[in-house]
Structure 1
Amino acid sequence: MSFTLATWNINSVRLREELVLKLLSEEAPDVLCLQECKSPVDKIPLEGFQALGYNHIVARGQKGYNGVAIISRLPMVEAGAEDYASLGHARHIAGRLENGVTIHNHYVPAGGDVPDRAVNDKFGNKLDYLTEMRDAFHADKPSKSILVGDLNIAPREDDVWSHKKLLKVVSHTPIEVEHFGEVMDAGGWSDVTRNDIPDGLLYSWWSYRARDWDAADKGRRLDHVWATPDIASAGHSSRIVRTARGWEKPSDHAPVFATFDL
């Protein structure tokens, strides 16, 4: 079985329903994981997705904030949802395909603007969320699993437009990168995107603040596709659909794709 998966922080699934439909029509992933849906589950606009053959969904939602969903044209059942750091936020949902692969979709807290938990509770929440992810993977080693989402950390020097200038900017600080690495190590996760594209600058997010985001190209790779060691070698054909960042009224994130032969 071969299937293609995409992950995308959509920044409101209701506001950007047409963009989701455009991606599904033009790129046709078998599974699409969305973050920051900003919608209760019963308000997610499913009709258009279903018309394109995406008849399966698992989701967690809340009004106006956060929210995660996995829509699929492959049969899928819900496989749990975690509330790491006990924030009461809709930040994780898991779905299991018929081939036994579990897909975890995460929206890790952004962490606010100041990288100091003593003065910024949001940064503390982010570190706590990552710590609980790490501990959960230590306690229950995942297998035959894929983890995707907006993890809100660009870990490598070539995952940001300027390593030196962003060392004190939330998403690329050493303590965040350290926590990110501990989560990966705890689950034995493999970075599928960088396995496929090992070298060079690679971004999935560009700020709305840039007058011309494309020309300035001050991006960060905040969106990730991981796999457990037992299936990591089955992942291939990774790519970031950068053009989606230039669509009308876009999300500030671009979709990240990978294909798995399982």
Structure 2
Amino acid sequence: MPFSIATWNINSVRLRMPLVERLLAEYAPDVLCLQETKCPDDQFPSAAFRKIGYEHIAFHGQKGYHGVATVARRPLEIVEKRRFCEIDDSRHLSVRFDAGGKKVVLHNFYVPAGGDEPDVEINPKFRHKLGFVSEMNAIRADHDENSASVLVGDLNIAPLEHDVWSHKQLLNVVSHTPVETENFEAMRKAGEWVDLMRLNVPDDQKIYTWWSYRAKDWETSNRGRRLDHVWSSANLAPRLTGIEILSAARGWERPSDHVPVIARFDLD
């Protein structure tokens, strides 16, 4: 059976609910993970999701900042809302659901951006980001014959040379500095996660999921970065049938600076 998971940093779910509704109407993923919802739990637009068939909803939000949510057309069981770096800032949510005869645990992450200066001595936001990534080492791609794991979200790091528009010019820019990319890839490998977006795309090909609001013409300049990621346990990787990056969504009315990424699987 075809099965799909979408991830999108929406940059305010209430402000951009029309865009979310468009995504769900046109692409109908089975599960949608949102980041940067900027919405306290008691104000999450659950009714709007239920109206369009996404009746199963889990969220971990706060007023004005951060926040993650996972909505689905099938039952979800909340597993955990993990606290990182001893800060309560709504950056993680994990749920469990049934798909393809397996119990799938799905982690939805919004990693701190890290501020502008890549120096932990003068920038506490950057120190927080590195600490957060370090603690993510505890998130493992657990799986067996009857279970699997998926991790998605805005992880705010573009780890590979061709995950950014210019490796050379961005080496000292937060999201692509060596200390970030090396720790990030070490964390992914330690957890035995498979980078599904690179599974069938060679490392020397560009992949972007984010284009800055500061660009006058984001499409022409195309100075993007791959900040959004989709990982899985090893037993799901052979079932991947495709990854779609909806770059056109960056041109929708009042868009997020991130675009949706959809992973599709063939699950018996």
> What interval of TM-score do these two structures reach, taking the shorter chain for normalisation?
over 0.9
The DSSP-based 3-state class of the residue aligned with 1:185 is helix
Q: CA deviation at 1:54?
A: 0.3
Q: CA deviation at 1:74?
A: 1.6
Which of 116, 119, 122 is matched with 2:119 structurally?
A: 116
Identical aligned pairs, as a percentage? 53
Counterpart mapping for 1:109-188 below 5 A: 109-134=112-137, 136-137=138-139, 142-143=142-143, 144-188=148-192
Residue 53 of structure 1 is matched in structure 2 by 53
Residues 69 and 93, structure 1, Cα contact 8 Å, conserved in 2: yes
Residue 254 of structure 1 is matched in structure 2 by 259
- Pick closer, same or farther for the CA change 1:101–1:166 going to 2, 3 Å: same
Distance 2:75 2:14 in 1: 24
Distance 1:24 1:146 in 2: 20
Q: CA deviation at 1:141?
A: 5.7
Distance 1:183 1:52 in 2: 37
The DSSP-based 3-state class of the residue aligned with 2:12 is coil
1:34-81: per-residue Cα shift (whole Å, max 9, x none)? 000000112111222111110001110000000000000121111111
Residues 79 and 94, structure 1, Cα contact 8 Å, conserved in 2: yes
What amino acid is the match of 2:191? G
Counterpart mapping for 1:1-262 below 5 A: 1-99=1-99, 100-134=103-137, 136-137=138-139, 142-143=142-143, 144-198=148-202, 199-262=204-267
1:202-238: per-residue Cα shift (whole Å, max 9, x none)? 1000000000111110000000000011222212210
What amino acid is the match of 1:108? V
The DSSP-based 3-state class of the residue aligned with 1:233 is helix
1:97-116: per-residue Cα shift (whole Å, max 9, x none)? 12300110000000000001
Distance 1:85 1:186 in 2: 19
Gap regions ≥5 residues in structure 1: none
Higher fraction of helix? 1
Distance 2:60 2:47 in 1: 18
The DSSP-based 3-state class of the residue aligned with 2:80 is coil
After superposition, the CA RMSD in angstroms is 1.1
Residues 33 and 68, structure 1, Cα contact 8 Å, conserved in 2: yes
Residues 197 and 238, structure 1, Cα contact 8 Å, conserved in 2: no
Q: CA deviation at 1:88?
A: 1.2
TM-score (norm 2): 0.94
The DSSP-based 3-state class of the residue aligned with 1:3 is strand
The DSSP-based 3-state class of the residue aligned with 2:254 is coil
The DSSP-based 3-state class of the residue aligned with 1:114 is coil
What amino acid is the match of 1:167? L
TM-score (norm 1): 0.96
Distance 2:118 2:42 in 1: 35
Distance 2:257 2:23 in 1: 15
Distance 2:52 2:219 in 1: 30
Q: CA deviation at 1:15?
A: 0.5
